[in-house]
Amino acid sequence: MARPDAVRLKVLLVDDQLSHRAALSAELQAMGHDVVEAGNAEDAVALFTSLRPDAVLLDVAMPGHNGHWAAQQIRQAEPEGWTPILFLSGCVSDVDLAAGIEAGGDDYLFKPVSPVVLQAKLRAMQRLWSLHHQLQILTDQLRASNADLQVQSLHDPLTGLANRRGLDIRLDEALRTARREHQPLTLILCDVDNFKAYNDTAGHLQGDQCLIRIAQVLGETSRRPRDLAGRFGGEEFVILLPGTSHSGAMYFAKGLQRLIHQLALPHPATDGRTCVTLSGGITTVVPDGNTTIESLLSRADAALYTAKSLGRDRFFCFETQTDTRTGLAEVPDYDREQGSTATLF
């Protein structure tokens, strides 16, 4: 089994003298590495950018730009990366060595390069490369996990809709936008009728399936870019419709109610009805400085309570004191934004 540090490296070899390059290149290839050669600093930087080698052997003294310049360019080309750079030099004073490290180099090799020293230095570079590579993989995995966690933290695992936290964030954004743009904001709080009886009769697993189907309809109907359906908790859902007036909200609710009827989910425990229904409370405001999320939810909740009191299976609007069974189905200004769900109804 190969040693973990025995990595085949792609080495960029930079030296203006062909004979030096040829000798080093042969040694590197004999050690099992791939070699890319450059004869000056400009070519070295261009090859580094296009080929992204694993290590760079870089002559210091070259016509035109020297190795220190090339090292600086290479470091600038990979601000988040790290590729080992070993300078090649005939004679190195303390000052030269310090300048080379300052320019971005990691180590020095003295010419003529001893094959034993070259192999030892490259072995060290391989180890560092392996560690760096593992760190990169772990960092990528961590980033992906964080992104997943972020999504999970804002969504309800059962229905896939926004959860309470996701709702809070979007409600806050929508309220600020509506206040700034003096636009109406509609919030609907809805609830599956007689859901406790459903669970008691059919069991909680079947109850979950019912919630998933209902949530699917809510998600599909709230598809304008700024609309949002979320699970408020239990069998309660919130629908947020920015830029939607009273009449638009009533139109939306009538359409939603129709879709729930068409879904025709059997309710095992309703008296007099056979299918699952929704009741909802609607509130629409052009928010001012006094409007809060809590006040909106409270008004929608009061409207939901009224809808239940009126016999369920209806959406009641707080401001107009009408419900989807009595209110006018005006063709509304709900349809103003692209991606309207009006065609679904």
What phi and psi, each to the nearest 5 degrees, are found at residue 114?
-75, 130
Which position among 27, 235, 330, 337 bears the catalytic label?
235
Least separation in angstroms between CB 129 and Mg ion:
26
Contact status: 97 vs Mg ion (CB under 5 A): no
| Residue 164 neighbours by CB distance under 10 Å | 13
**Chain position carrying tokens 């063709």:** 331
Q: Which is closer to Mg ion, CB of 105 or CB of 242?
A: 105
> For residue 86, how many C-alpha atoms fall within 13 Å in the half-sphere facing its CB?
23
Least separation in angstroms between CB 6 and Mg ion:
30
**Residue 173 is among the residues annotated as catalytic for this protein:** no
What's the full length of the chain, in residues? 345
Binding mask 220-239 for Mg ion (x = CB under 5 A): --------------------
Kindly determine how many residues on this chain lie close enough to bind Mg ion according to the rule CB under 5 A.
4
Q: Which 13-32 positions form the footprint of Mg ion (CB under 5 A)?
A: 16
Least separation in angstroms between CB 74 and Mg ion:
17
Least separation in angstroms between CB 47 and Mg ion:
17
**Chain position carrying tokens 């990979």:** 78
Least separation in angstroms between CB 69 and Mg ion:
13
Q: Which is closer to Mg ion, CB of 19 or CB of 290?
A: 19
Q: Which 62-81 positions form the footprint of Mg ion (CB under 5 A)?
A: 62
Question: For Mg ion, which stretch binds (CB under 5 A), given 8-16, 36-44, 118-126, 149-157?
Answer: 8-16
Q: Which is closer to Mg ion, CB of 61 or CB of 265?
A: 61
Q: Which is closer to Mg ion, CB of 56 or CB of 307?
A: 56
CA atoms 190, 196, 201, 205: torsion sign: positive
Q: Which is closer to Mg ion, CB of 108 or CB of 305?
A: 108
The span from the CA of 234 to the CA of 290, in Å, is: 29
Among 12, 56, 58, 59, binds Mg ion (CB under 5 A): 59
H, E, C per residue of 160-212: CCECHHHHHHHHHHHHHHHHHHCCCEEEEEEEECCHHHHHHHHCHHHHHHHHH
The span from the CA of 342 to the CA of 339, in Å, is: 9
In the DSSP assignment, the letter for residue 343 is G
φ/ψ bin of 104: left (φ > 0), alpha (ψ from -120 to 50), beta (otherwise): left
Q: Which 256-275 positions form the footprint of Mg ion (CB under 5 A)?
A: none
Decide: 258 and 278 in contact? Cβ < 8 Å. Answer: no
Among 23, 36, 61, 275, binds Mg ion (CB under 5 A): 61
> Residues interacting with Mg ion, by CB under 5 A?
16, 59, 61-62
Catalytic positions are 235
